Amino acid sequence: MTTAVELKRELRAGIRAERIAMSEDRREEARTDLTARLIDLVRTREARSFSCFLPTRSEPDTRGLLKWAASQGIETLLPSSLADGLLEWISPSGEGTVRGAHGIDEPLGEPLGPLAIETVDLMLIPAAAVDRRGNRLGWGRGYFDRALASMTRRPAVFAVVFDHEVLEHLPTEPHDVPLTGVVTPRRTLRF
Protein backbone atom coordinates (compact mmCIF):
# COMPACT_ATOMS: atom_id res chain seq x y z
CA MET A 1 0.00 0.00 0.00
CA THR A 2 1.40 3.38 -1.03
CA THR A 3 1.25 6.06 1.66
CA ALA A 4 0.45 9.76 1.20
CA VAL A 5 4.11 10.55 1.87
CA GLU A 6 5.25 8.17 -0.90
CA LEU A 7 2.65 9.48 -3.35
CA LYS A 8 3.71 13.06 -2.63
CA ARG A 9 7.36 12.16 -3.20
CA GLU A 10 6.53 10.58 -6.58
CA LEU A 11 4.40 13.57 -7.64
CA ARG A 12 7.13 16.04 -6.68
CA ALA A 13 9.72 14.14 -8.71
CA GLY A 14 7.51 14.11 -11.81
CA ILE A 15 6.62 17.80 -11.49
CA ARG A 16 10.26 18.78 -10.90
CA ALA A 17 11.30 16.88 -14.09
CA GLU A 18 8.53 18.54 -16.14
CA ARG A 19 9.53 21.99 -14.90
CA ILE A 20 13.21 21.44 -15.68
CA ALA A 21 12.32 20.27 -19.22
CA MET A 22 10.14 23.34 -19.94
CA SER A 23 11.42 25.41 -22.90
CA GLU A 24 12.47 29.03 -22.50
CA ASP A 25 9.78 30.11 -25.00
CA ARG A 26 7.10 28.44 -22.88
CA ARG A 27 8.58 29.99 -19.72
CA GLU A 28 8.49 33.47 -21.25
CA GLU A 29 4.88 33.08 -22.35
CA ALA A 30 3.95 31.82 -18.87
CA ARG A 31 5.88 34.70 -17.23
CA THR A 32 3.99 37.37 -19.18
CA ASP A 33 0.57 35.80 -18.63
CA LEU A 34 1.23 35.05 -14.95
CA THR A 35 2.33 38.61 -14.22
CA ALA A 36 -0.94 39.96 -15.65
CA ARG A 37 -3.00 37.42 -13.71
CA LEU A 38 -1.19 38.15 -10.41
CA ILE A 39 -1.52 41.92 -10.82
CA ASP A 40 -5.23 41.42 -11.48
CA LEU A 41 -5.57 39.37 -8.27
CA VAL A 42 -3.79 42.00 -6.16
CA ARG A 43 -6.00 44.74 -7.65
CA THR A 44 -9.23 42.74 -7.33
CA ARG A 45 -8.53 41.95 -3.68
CA GLU A 46 -7.50 45.58 -3.13
CA ALA A 47 -4.38 44.34 -1.37
CA ARG A 48 -2.23 47.11 0.08
CA SER A 49 0.32 44.50 1.14
CA PHE A 50 1.08 40.91 0.20
CA SER A 51 3.64 38.21 0.65
CA CYS A 52 5.22 36.48 -2.29
CA PHE A 53 8.36 34.48 -3.08
CA LEU A 54 11.42 34.83 -5.27
CA PRO A 55 11.21 32.03 -7.83
CA THR A 56 13.83 29.38 -8.36
CA ARG A 57 14.78 28.77 -11.99
CA SER A 58 12.02 26.18 -12.45
CA GLU A 59 9.20 27.92 -10.55
CA PRO A 60 6.56 30.22 -12.03
CA ASP A 61 8.22 33.64 -12.28
CA THR A 62 6.83 36.21 -9.83
CA ARG A 63 9.45 38.91 -10.49
CA GLY A 64 7.18 40.88 -12.85
CA LEU A 65 4.59 41.18 -10.09
CA LEU A 66 7.25 42.21 -7.55
CA LYS A 67 8.58 44.91 -9.89
CA TRP A 68 5.04 46.21 -10.50
CA ALA A 69 4.24 46.23 -6.75
CA ALA A 70 7.40 48.25 -6.02
CA SER A 71 6.41 50.81 -8.67
CA GLN A 72 2.94 51.09 -7.09
CA GLY A 73 4.19 51.46 -3.52
CA ILE A 74 2.52 48.20 -2.45
CA GLU A 75 4.24 46.62 0.54
CA THR A 76 5.70 43.19 -0.19
CA LEU A 77 7.11 40.64 2.24
CA LEU A 78 9.38 37.86 1.00
CA PRO A 79 10.38 34.72 2.93
CA SER A 80 13.71 33.68 4.34
CA SER A 81 14.15 30.12 5.62
CA LEU A 82 15.43 29.86 9.19
CA ALA A 83 17.42 26.93 10.58
CA ASP A 84 14.57 26.00 12.96
CA GLY A 85 12.18 25.31 10.06
CA LEU A 86 10.31 28.61 10.30
CA LEU A 87 10.03 31.39 7.75
CA GLU A 88 11.18 34.88 8.58
CA TRP A 89 9.66 37.67 6.52
CA ILE A 90 11.75 40.37 4.90
CA SER A 91 10.78 43.77 3.58
CA PRO A 92 13.05 43.85 0.51
CA SER A 93 15.42 46.79 0.12
CA GLY A 94 15.64 46.41 -3.65
CA GLU A 95 19.41 45.99 -3.35
CA GLY A 96 19.56 42.42 -4.57
CA THR A 97 19.53 38.94 -3.12
CA VAL A 98 21.70 36.50 -1.22
CA ARG A 99 21.79 32.72 -1.46
CA GLY A 100 19.80 31.40 1.50
CA ALA A 101 19.03 28.02 2.94
CA HIS A 102 18.62 25.22 0.43
CA GLY A 103 20.33 27.39 -2.25
CA ILE A 104 17.25 29.59 -2.73
CA ASP A 105 17.65 33.32 -3.39
CA GLU A 106 16.41 35.53 -0.58
CA PRO A 107 16.08 39.32 -0.62
CA LEU A 108 18.35 41.77 1.11
CA GLY A 109 16.30 43.97 3.39
CA GLU A 110 14.83 44.38 6.82
CA PRO A 111 14.04 41.13 8.68
CA LEU A 112 10.63 41.42 10.33
CA GLY A 113 10.32 38.06 12.10
CA PRO A 114 7.99 35.07 11.59
CA LEU A 115 4.85 36.87 12.79
CA ALA A 116 5.09 39.75 10.30
CA ILE A 117 3.11 37.65 7.81
CA GLU A 118 -0.08 38.22 9.82
CA THR A 119 -0.15 41.87 8.68
CA VAL A 120 -0.51 41.25 4.91
CA ASP A 121 -3.76 41.35 2.94
CA LEU A 122 -2.84 38.46 0.63
CA MET A 123 -0.35 35.58 0.55
CA LEU A 124 1.09 34.16 -2.68
CA ILE A 125 2.98 30.95 -2.01
CA PRO A 126 4.92 28.43 -4.09
CA ALA A 127 3.68 24.91 -4.69
CA ALA A 128 4.46 21.85 -6.75
CA ALA A 129 0.76 21.29 -7.45
CA VAL A 130 -2.74 22.12 -6.21
CA ASP A 131 -5.94 20.11 -6.46
CA ARG A 132 -9.46 21.35 -7.17
CA ARG A 133 -10.39 21.05 -3.48
CA GLY A 134 -7.76 23.58 -2.44
CA ASN A 135 -5.09 21.16 -1.26
CA ARG A 136 -1.48 22.16 -1.88
CA LEU A 137 1.50 19.93 -2.55
CA GLY A 138 4.62 21.74 -1.37
CA TRP A 139 8.21 20.68 -1.91
CA GLY A 140 8.44 18.63 1.28
CA ARG A 141 10.27 20.80 3.78
CA GLY A 142 7.11 22.12 5.48
CA TYR A 143 8.10 25.79 5.78
CA PHE A 144 4.84 27.17 4.40
CA ASP A 145 2.72 24.52 6.14
CA ARG A 146 4.21 25.57 9.49
CA ALA A 147 3.78 29.27 8.70
CA LEU A 148 0.12 28.84 7.73
CA ALA A 149 -0.69 26.58 10.69
CA SER A 150 0.82 29.02 13.20
CA MET A 151 -1.08 32.11 12.05
CA THR A 152 -3.78 33.58 14.27
CA ARG A 153 -4.95 35.84 11.43
CA ARG A 154 -4.70 34.25 8.01
CA PRO A 155 -5.38 36.35 4.91
CA ALA A 156 -6.42 34.86 1.58
CA VAL A 157 -3.76 32.35 0.49
CA PHE A 158 -3.20 31.58 -3.20
CA ALA A 159 -0.62 29.13 -4.54
CA VAL A 160 1.19 29.94 -7.79
CA VAL A 161 1.72 27.05 -10.23
CA PHE A 162 1.76 26.30 -13.94
CA ASP A 163 -1.56 25.42 -15.61
CA HIS A 164 -0.96 21.66 -15.86
CA GLU A 165 -0.16 21.49 -12.11
CA VAL A 166 -3.79 21.96 -11.09
CA LEU A 167 -4.83 18.35 -10.53
CA GLU A 168 -8.09 16.62 -9.69
CA HIS A 169 -6.86 15.10 -6.44
CA LEU A 170 -3.75 15.21 -4.24
CA PRO A 171 -2.85 13.01 -1.30
CA THR A 172 -3.18 14.92 1.98
CA GLU A 173 -1.90 14.67 5.51
CA PRO A 174 -3.34 16.16 8.72
CA HIS A 175 -0.87 19.09 8.72
CA ASP A 176 -1.87 20.29 5.22
CA VAL A 177 -3.66 23.66 5.28
CA PRO A 178 -6.25 24.31 2.50
CA LEU A 179 -5.84 27.28 0.20
CA THR A 180 -8.17 30.11 -0.79
CA GLY A 181 -7.20 29.69 -4.43
CA VAL A 182 -4.55 29.11 -7.07
CA VAL A 183 -3.10 31.34 -9.79
CA THR A 184 -1.71 29.95 -13.03
CA PRO A 185 -0.65 31.79 -16.19
CA ARG A 186 -4.12 31.19 -17.71
CA ARG A 187 -6.55 31.28 -14.77
CA THR A 188 -7.32 32.09 -11.18
CA LEU A 189 -9.37 29.56 -9.26
CA ARG A 190 -11.01 30.20 -5.90
CA PHE A 191 -11.91 27.35 -3.58
> How would you write the pLDDT of the chain (191 residues) with one tens digit per residue?
578 889 999 999 999 999 999 999 999 999 999 999 999 999 999 999 999 999 998 999 999 999 999 999 999 999 999 888 889 999 999 888 888 877 788 999 999 999 999 999 999 999 999 999 999 999 878 899 999 998 998 999 999 999 999 999 999 888 888 999 999 999 999 99
pLDDT at 175: 82
Per residue in 12-42, pLDDT tens?
999 999 999 999 999 999 999 999 999 999 9
Q: Return the C-alpha torsion angle 78, 91, 120, 100, nearest 10.
A: 20
For the chain, domains (ranges, CATH) are 4-190 (3.40.50.10420)
